[in-house]
Structure 1
Amino acid sequence: MNSFRKILGILAFILLFINQLQAQEKDDITAEVFVFKNVNVLPMDREEVLEDHHVIVENNRITRLGPSAEITIPQGAVEIEGRGRYLMPGLAEMHGHIPGEDQVQYAEDVLFLYIANGVTTVRNMLGTKFQLQLRERVRKGELPGPTIFAASPWLSQEAIPTPQAADNAVREYKSTGFDLLKIGSLEPETYKQMAATAHEIGMPFGGHIPEAVGLAGALEARQTSIDHYDRYVEFLVPEEAKQGRSNGFFGSGIIGLIDRERIPLAIEKTLEAGTWNVPTLSLIEHLANEEEAEEMIKRPEMKYMPKQVLDGWVKFKNDYVQRDDFQPDDTAKLVEFRRELTKKLHDAGANIVLGSDAPQFFNVPGFSIHHELEMMVNSGLSPYEVLVTGTKNAAEYFATPEEFGTIQPGRRADLILLNSNPIEDISNVKDRAGVMVRGEWYPEEKISEKLQEIEKRNRGN
């Protein structure tokens, strides 16, 4: 019996020793230290390039940065060569979508497409509990992907037909763990109650503006964000001028009737409300351009999307151009107006964040952000000003400027290493050497391998 007890004691000691080794190994992984050596840093809290710096990352956070001559590289650190390269914060897609539980593989692919393009934060603008599960899996490191802020299911009149239903839904979605409310079509009184409850419990709400509420009503309610510049055109068109015409797609049917003298009033009301705008310029520009839908799906990034998604995009555009309220000249005017509004809102100091509405209308997740960046530059903003909307501004939208969006000690290690300076040319954001997401390093070779897997998978669909 004594011998048996001794054997059990020895086995228990061995198991304890193994557990301690495993715990130590886990701690070693968690505590992995990286250094970006001799890199040019774009801190994004100011328009400046910090040349020849070392940036130290420990435990998923930026801990130190400074001139390379003044920073000692920790022993055993993983060294990433940055000489001649540029390090900037990761980008935020502030109007993105992640597929649901009926498309699990597609959803996981979408998450990687985001980070492959330097998108390290996504505000998922329509969700279910499945996206909450993905959010947690990503947070725990079980699944590669950007940090997710998850919107609630669509708040429509069918879903919440009364003010009381709105009050109940807002409280339920808050307790369930959603980060914000996605607004759809609501009656004015229902919308008013939704907004009141949301403000009471600290729940952001954004997306569309119900037609009966209008831009003025949404701004009076201090809607957190307006996406796609929804209802701005309607605000600028006097009711008597509409003559029974349909508003069309985001105002395309009445764009020729706008009163330009009302633009300063719209901007003033936006500033007073403190509301954020997510322009999603590509949403309209992809539909308005003269390129045939069948040609658009031949773009290089389309190979990462399932065939049924591409087929849906082609059908939507072909159906759209056949609509009675579609007029090429008016749609072109809408594109120019949205660019003008972007510039005027920005110059007035209004809140703007980057978003492309992917995967919608030829917007491949991650890749579409680069189209959006270029479109915003085409609106008259400088490359630096545009990059601010996808970095520093995004963190300010979430009221967490100390978490991400700039390169400073204490910030989450969401970083993009570029081969060229994006402040000189916005297209240089695509010229990556790698991406770091919450301290995990993805060199471009690793990204390419995973993209090849996604491409191969979608060839079979």
Structure 2
Amino acid sequence: MKLLTTIFLLFLFSINSGFAQSYLLSNVNIVSLEDDQILRNQSIVIDKGKILKIIPASELIEFAGYQVIDGKGNYVYPGLAEFHSHLPVAQNGTMQLQEEAMWLYLANGVLRVRGMIGHPSHLILKEKVESGEMAGPRLFLSGPSFSGGSVSSADQAAQLVREEKAAGYDHLKLHPGLSMEEFMAISKTAKELDIPFGGHVSLDVGLEVSLENGYKSIEHIDGYLEAMVPDYSKVLEPSIAGPFSMLLVEEADQAKLPRLIEMTLENEVWIAPTLTLYDRFFGSKPAEEYRNIPEMKYMSAAQVESWINAKTPYEERGILTIENVQPHMEFRNQLFLSLHRAGVPMLMASDSPQVFNVPGFSIHNEIKLMSEAGMSNYEILKSGSVNPAAYFEQEDDWGMIKAGLSADFVMVEKNPLEDLNTLKYPILVVMKGKMYDRAELQRQLDKIEANHKR
């Protein structure tokens, strides 16, 4: 059957109304991520939000009744992840900031998000996204965090675990400041209720105990540097250690790293590296230089000011000099690469919206830093698709472009296995079969910019 031409009016009507149930995206090159090969000149048959079949573009006769959309030889891949986000909270009865975050993620090809500081309004947001009432990526939610400030005893910690599980959260987030007894109560109860947990490593607990007692993910590669410093009393003194112990890099005993990596692998712990958080928050570039970078136009002036105020004190205290920052960044990059090359699974994560990391846009900063650290394009793409699906044991539902899985993917102009920069410019985003073209994504970005006009 002769290849059908795109019927633009029907295509746009389907995108804007969102009710196209069955269609065929033809003439595309597929980066399925089942392996590192490209399926060239293919057609993806989509029915009720699922990938029904993938066939050569020339074999359309079986699906003659389907609407056909010409992919024009572009590339499709399963999309990206933000697996350490701080989703906005609904304020004054409005979900504006939450809805904006959803569009910022989609406009950057981010199709799955793990929230790591929870709030009851996030559960409402997730329900609206899952029902189709609001556009957005897949959401996986941690509840309010467990920390030295929110936990007062082991019994109370266990009760909080039970409450968050009952409320419907998918994950638990641990912040610093937990005692050993409190941590063990969280670990025991979480295992009993089968809810994953992870986050920062409390200094009184330490990395090794965290690895051995159920942490599913270590955020920010936290705890490794501290575990490598022979004199742990220095780690416990903030004026000596600096933020995230960055001033103790030169004292790290590299001979301890192989055992820590071995323990990470033995306990099947994942890493969410958030390289861009450290690059921007604890890097030597002055805070003021971030005020007017392009993506800041999607944030309120108050938000940007709060980020500047968060970084400035470290600058004023002389901590973020090149002499202090450079060894720390080099150490983190090497630690990241050592863990990755040993087989520790990585999760694409940038900690947005957090200091100078704007939702969606910050993931491209993270990708750039992962690449510069030595990770291959293929493994970077897996960290945003295959790995997040495996983390929540949902590989049979999403994470690749494959028959039977959800139709979640992004179309870009170039082959992302060769050019990561192409990921910044989605032509089409498909989320559970629903299509958002570049014009719609840009319209939403323009609306967000107008909301925060300086």
TM-score, normalising length: structure 2? 0.92
Equivalent in 127, 132, 135 of residue 118 of structure 2:
127
- Residues 219-257 of structure 1: CA deviation (Å, up to 9, x unaligned): 011201110111111011102683966322222121121
Task: Provide the residue aligned with 1:406 in structure 2.
Answer: 400
Give SS of 2:452's match. helix
Q: How far apart in 2 are the matches of 1:422 and 1:73?
A: 31
Task: Provide the residue aligned with 2:42 in structure 1.
Answer: 53
**In the TM superposition, what is the alpha-carbon distance from 1:316 to its structure 2 partner?**
1.7
Give SS of 1:64's match. strand
The two structures, once aligned, show a CA RMSD in angstroms of 1.9
CA 1:328–1:178: 2 relative to 1, 3 Å: same
**In the TM superposition, what is the alpha-carbon distance from 1:446 to its structure 2 partner?**
0.9
Native 8 Å contact 2:116 2:141 kept in 1: yes
Task: Provide the residue aligned with 2:184 in structure 1.
Answer: 192
Task: Provide the residue aligned with 1:369 in structure 2.
Answer: 363
Give SS of 2:63's match. coil
Please tell me whether residue 68 in structure 1 is matched to residue 57 in structure 2.
Answer: yes
**In the TM superposition, what is the alpha-carbon distance from 1:71 to its structure 2 partner?**
4.2
**In the TM superposition, what is the alpha-carbon distance from 1:275 to its structure 2 partner?**
0.6
Q: How far apart in 1 are the matches of 2:131 and 2:44?
A: 24
Task: Provide the residue aligned with 1:164 in structure 2.
Answer: 155
- AA partner of residue 391 (structure 1): S
Q: How far apart in 2 are the matches of 1:72 and 1:362?
A: 51
CA 1:85–1:320: 2 relative to 1, 3 Å: same
Native 8 Å contact 1:33 1:77 kept in 2: yes
CA 1:327–1:134: 2 relative to 1, 3 Å: same
**In the TM superposition, what is the alpha-carbon distance from 1:111 to its structure 2 partner?**
1.0
Q: How far apart in 2 are the matches of 1:153 and 1:452?
A: 32
Please tell me whether residue 262 in structure 1 is matched to residue 256 in structure 2.
Answer: yes
Q: How far apart in 2 are the matches of 1:68 and 1:381?
A: 33
CA 1:72–1:160: 2 relative to 1, 3 Å: farther
CA 1:85–1:348: 2 relative to 1, 3 Å: same
**Which aligned pairs between 1:20-419 and structure 2 lie closer than 5 A?**
32-72=21-61, 74-102=63-91, 104-184=95-175, 185-239=177-231, 242=234, 246-323=240-317, 325-419=319-413
Give SS of 1:152's match. coil
Task: Provide the residue aligned with 2:3 in structure 1.
Answer: none
Q: How far apart in 1 are the matches of 2:319 and 2:362?
A: 27
Give SS of 2:135's match. coil
- AA partner of residue 354 (structure 1): M
Native 8 Å contact 2:282 2:320 kept in 1: no
**In the TM superposition, what is the alpha-carbon distance from 1:75 to its structure 2 partner?**
4.1
Native 8 Å contact 1:89 1:415 kept in 2: yes
Task: Provide the residue aligned with 2:7 in structure 1.
Answer: none
Between stretches 351-360 and 283-292, larger displacement belongs to 283-292
- Residues 158-203 of structure 1: CA deviation (Å, up to 9, x unaligned): 3221111121111111011000111013111110010011011101
Structure 1 unaligned blocks of 5 or more: 1-27
**In the TM superposition, what is the alpha-carbon distance from 1:392 to its structure 2 partner?**
0.4
Q: Percent identity of the aligned residues?
A: 35
Native 8 Å contact 1:65 1:71 kept in 2: no
Q: How far apart in 1 are the matches of 2:448 and 2:416?
A: 27
Give SS of 1:171's match. helix
Between stretches 436-445 and 296-305, larger displacement belongs to 296-305
Native 8 Å contact 1:137 1:143 kept in 2: yes
Report the structure number with the largest CA radius of gyration. Answer: 1
Native 8 Å contact 1:288 1:335 kept in 2: no
Q: How far apart in 1 are the matches of 2:104 and 2:23?
A: 24
- AA partner of residue 52 (structure 1): N
Question: How many residue pairs end up in the alignment?
Answer: 434
Native 8 Å contact 1:225 1:277 kept in 2: yes
Q: How far apart in 1 are the matches of 2:62 and 2:279?
A: 47
CA 1:240–1:166: 2 relative to 1, 3 Å: closer
Q: How far apart in 2 are the matches of 1:367 and 1:344?
A: 26
Task: Provide the residue aligned with 2:418 in structure 1.
Answer: 424
Moved over 4 A (4+): 28-31, 324-327
- Residues 260-301 of structure 1: CA deviation (Å, up to 9, x unaligned): 111111111111111110000001111344433222222211
Native 8 Å contact 1:248 1:326 kept in 2: no
